[in-house]
A and B are shown apart, each in its own frame.
Chain A
Amino acid sequence: MIRYIEKDHPAYPKRLRKLPGMPSHLYVNGCLPREEQPTVGIVGARRCTNYGKQTAREFARVFSDWGIQVVSGMAMGVDGESHRGALQGKTPTFAVLGCGVDICYPSCNGDLFGQIPAKGGILSEYPPGMPPVGRYFPARNRIISGLSDVLLVVEARRKSGSLITVDCALEQGKSVYAVPGRVTDPLSEGCNSLIAQGAGIALSPEVVLNELGLDTYKTKEKIGGGKKSKLSLARDLELVYSCIGFQPTDYETLIAQCGYPPGQVLAVLTELQLLGLVEEVGKNYYVRPSAK
């Protein structure tokens, strides 16, 4: 059921009420973020890498387990993955849309559209039935940052829409964290330059949790490939495996790095795939699978 909430309604989020430029009303499918529970906004590129997806999902899951409400935009890529991660945790998650709350956009996130309102909520300032129009999307970024106590940027290009959200957050006086990446990755350029400008470095979810005043002293959770591999592989498998990271690596590069003849490299790659250690994401592009 979709509710209509005016600015003077008691249910209207307090986080938004005290900020300038916020919408006079909201449409909500599900419920609104709880005032007493902390929130983290996670934003990032729609066309993100595997690394971005995995990081977004893992961070969101940890946050959700720690009772933090994850707010994002339900877009493709980082947004959608953070919702997915949050849904695995214990706390509801909230999506702010740039179209009517009864419209599932993008359609590939149909699963989220169905699951989020069950415990959390889908919000929009636009009336139901409003079709997704590109120019309305940047406007919802101010609501995402407004609802968040801390904003986390997972992956962003140099000129990314996510940086609009960062600007909004800074104007609203929120703290901004960015996930660092390799300097050569175009998708980490935005994040790395945010860090250079003074954003917090999100080395792990705990860093953000500490910012929110939560004590994470006893947790030892680590992200992604932090676990030491206890697999004992044959020598050639081990060598090829060590050349593959979380970014897709192509066949030719692997041949050049391992020094094995092409046919053998391909055979080893196939074996690694069968063992579930490697995924072929594009034709002859290989990557370590992200932890599910």
Chain B
Amino acid sequence: MFSSIYSAAVTGMEVVPVQVEADVSDGLPVFSMVGYVSSQVKETQDRVRTALHNKKLGLPAKRITVNLAPGDVRKEGTGYDLPVALCILTALGRIPGKYLQGVMAAGELGLDGRVKGIWGILPMVQKAREAGCQVCMVPRENEKEGRLIDNIRVVGVKDIAEAVEWLRQGRPMQDNKEPEHMESELERPEEAVDFSDIRGQEGAVRATLIAAAGMHNLLYIGSPGSGKSMMARRIPGILPPLAREESLELTKIYSIAGLLSKDHPVIQKRPFRCPHHTISPQALAGGGRSPRPGEITLAHNGVLFLDELPEFSRKSLEILRQPLEDRCVYISRVQGTYVFPAGCMLAAAMNPCACGYYPDLGRCRCTPSEVKRYLGKLSGPLLDRMDLCVDIREPTYAQMAQSSRGISSEELRKKVIRAQQIQEKRYQGTDIRFNSQLDGRSVEDYCIMTESSRQWMERIYTKLRLSPRAYHRIIKVSRTIADLDQSELIEEIHVQEAYGYRMAQGGVYDSIY
């Protein structure tokens, strides 16, 4: 007898509905699986056979054929155990076939029949709703995650026997479960860290504020222990709270990456990812045979922080260039091209030299050539993508000891939100969301300067021989500074300040020795 049920395959960020078909017929007792299945999926047959046996649902000595359609999409992962088991049982007539209609199932089986959690449930449930399914059967562990999607019934099952029983009874309504509501939990979770912990360092705080307001990429330069990482860790706290769509998008990414927590499977905080500098290019940008999201995707809508920037391998850093520009990562494989979102703000930190104290000649023990070599590790094109660059210096003792706290994250966030609202209004109906995304032409359209600031820019362009790219970067940053000031036009003082944050051409310290 033949039966079928829906399941789903995750490819990149996309989900493809998969029809699981089973047929039980007379013949030699063979279990065969077809449909472009990876060896991971082939293992399903042993798990299913044993799990059913241990739940007193043992399979008869018959020929069992399982097909996963469409046959041209490669199937990976362990999520097909549950649908395959249910489908075989239906084919054997142990579950009425009509109850499998409109059901999508996914889950891994243990040998004792337990259903274990898998990754990617959220996008699967989303797809099930789009495909017109009424019920999603998922592991109990993933139930909360699945319930984030409205207008579809999500059933969490503990073991295969429970799943079978529920279907046999004709899918009764479960009474006790409230649908999971994101809004109820969308109150902003407390950030553990606050800007008011930072003493002094007003200049760096100001640069951080500007970067956050326009989602500009930011580079901190400073000696070890001066507070670069401390500052960066506080950036997510001054960004506006995640909107519902953003939160769902992030939860989807984390679901696919298998990084959601069981108890609280919603991402409500802006991510802050700080990979170690030994990270491989694939781990940073995403990759693998069937591509999985990398750190830059996990930092979507949040902050990707690269501490000790020059220590990262050249290859890892260069791979960031395209995603930073396009706000998404393209990964091409034989099967097709996968697109992962990568709309993050890049914050990076570095020491000014190998020993870390340059240009404090009292402590720095590097020779000029060593300083040059250290800075030379960063490629020009990558530095070009850093909109703001600021020095961080350790606060003086007096600043450390002062009892008054610095400006709080709360206050800074208000400023950021106001500036981002202005940007939202300005870029309505375009692809642009933040000032950092402006390109050469749109800079001219949206960055209107006063006469005096235009003249000033002309002076600086000719006198200091800026490149057109550097010129545009200064204007983009000054646009954000003007937005923070709630000024329609870009005034002279805005451009002047923006110029102070530029990355020196040809390196950080081009003119010292």
Contact = CB atoms under 8 A, between A and B. Distances in A.
Contacts of B463: 274
A227 interface: no
A47 B497 CA distance: 31
B203 A271 contact: no
Contacts of B492: 267
A283 B513 CA distance: 14
B446 interface: no
A138 B323 CA distance: 53
Given A248-B359, A279-B511, A271 B496 contact: yes
A248 B359 CA distance: 8
Contacts of A280: 504, 511
A185 B360 CA distance: 10
Contacts of B203: 251-252, 255, 262, 265-266, 284
Nearest to B395: A252
Contact of B459 (A76, A251, A267, A274): A274
A187 B513 contact: no
A186 interface: yes
Contact of A47 (B206, B361, B496, B499): B361
A105 interface: no
B393 A266 contact: no
Nearest to B358: A282
B357 to A, nearest CB: 11
Interface string B473-513: 00000000100000000001110110111011000110111
A267 B206 CA distance: 13
A47 B361 CA distance: 8
A47 to B, nearest CB: 6
A264 interface: yes
B352 interface: yes
B490 to A, nearest CB: 12
A252 B204 CA distance: 8
Given A266-B500, A274-B460, A282 B391 contact: yes
A259 to B, nearest CB: 11
Contact of B206 (A108, A263, A279): A263
B212 to A, nearest CB: 15
Contacts of A187: 361-362
A250 B497 contact: no
A285 B399 CA distance: 20
Interface in A245-292: 248, 250-253, 255-256, 261-271, 273-274, 279-285
Contacts of A270: 460, 496-497, 499-500
A283 B352 contact: yes
Contacts of B65: none
A267 B491 CA distance: 11
A251 B512 contact: no
Contact of B200 (A76, A185, A256, A284): A256
Given A186-B361, A281-B512, A282-B508, A267 B460 contact: no
A49 interface: yes
A267 B500 contact: yes
Interface in B429-464: 456, 459-460, 463-464
Contacts of B464: 273-274
A69 to B, nearest CB: 27
A235 to B, nearest CB: 15
A108 B371 CA distance: 14
A252 B368 contact: no
B200 A252 contact: yes
Interface residues of A, number: 35
Interface in B113-161: none
Contacts of B494: 267
Given A263-B206, A266-B500, A283-B221, A47 B459 contact: no
Contacts of A283: 221, 352, 389-391, 503-504, 508-509
B201 to A, nearest CB: 6
B411 interface: no
B508 A263 contact: no
Contacts of A49: 361
Contacts of B513: 47, 76, 108
A284 B497 contact: no
A282 B509 contact: yes
B240 to A, nearest CB: 21
B318 interface: no
Interface in A58-87: 76
Interface in B322-365: 352, 358-359, 361-362, 364
A251 B500 CA distance: 10
Contact of A252 (B221, B358, B393, B481): B393
B391 A250 contact: yes
A134 B497 CA distance: 46
B509 to A, nearest CB: 5
Contacts of B359: 248, 281-282, 285
A213 B331 CA distance: 78
Contact of B496 (A251, A255, A266): A266
A139 B404 CA distance: 57
B496 to A, nearest CB: 4
Given A186-B361, A285-B359, A267 B508 contact: no
Contact of B368 (A47, A250, A251, A273): A47
Nearest to B511: A281
B367 interface: yes
A267 B497 contact: yes
B202 A252 contact: yes
Contacts of A186: 361-362
Contacts of B500: 266-267, 269-270, 284
Given A279-B511, A283-B389, A283-B391, A264 B493 contact: yes
Given A267-B497, A283-B508, A253 B393 contact: yes
Contacts of B503: 283
A138 to B, nearest CB: 17
Contacts of A284: 203, 221, 390-391, 500
A281 B200 CA distance: 22
A273 B481 CA distance: 20
Nearest to B210: A263
Contacts of B206: 261-263
26 contacts: A47-B367, A47-B513, A76-B513, A186-B361, A250-B391, A250-B393, A251-B390, A255-B203, A256-B396, A261-B202, A262-B205, A266-B496, A266-B501, A267-B493, A267-B500, A271-B496, A274-B456, A274-B460, A280-B511, A281-B511, A281-B512, A283-B390, A283-B391, A283-B509, A284-B500, A285-B391
- Which A-B residue pairs are the 4 nearest by beta carbons? A284-B391, A267-B496, A266-B500, A186-B362
Interface of A: 46-47, 49, 76, 108, 185-187, 248, 250-253, 255-256, 261-271, 273-274, 279-285
Given A47-B361, A47-B513, A266-B203, 16 more contacts: A47-B367, A186-B361, A252-B201, A252-B203, A252-B393, A256-B200, A266-B500, A267-B496, A270-B500, A273-B464, A274-B463, A280-B511, A281-B509, A283-B391, A284-B500, A285-B391
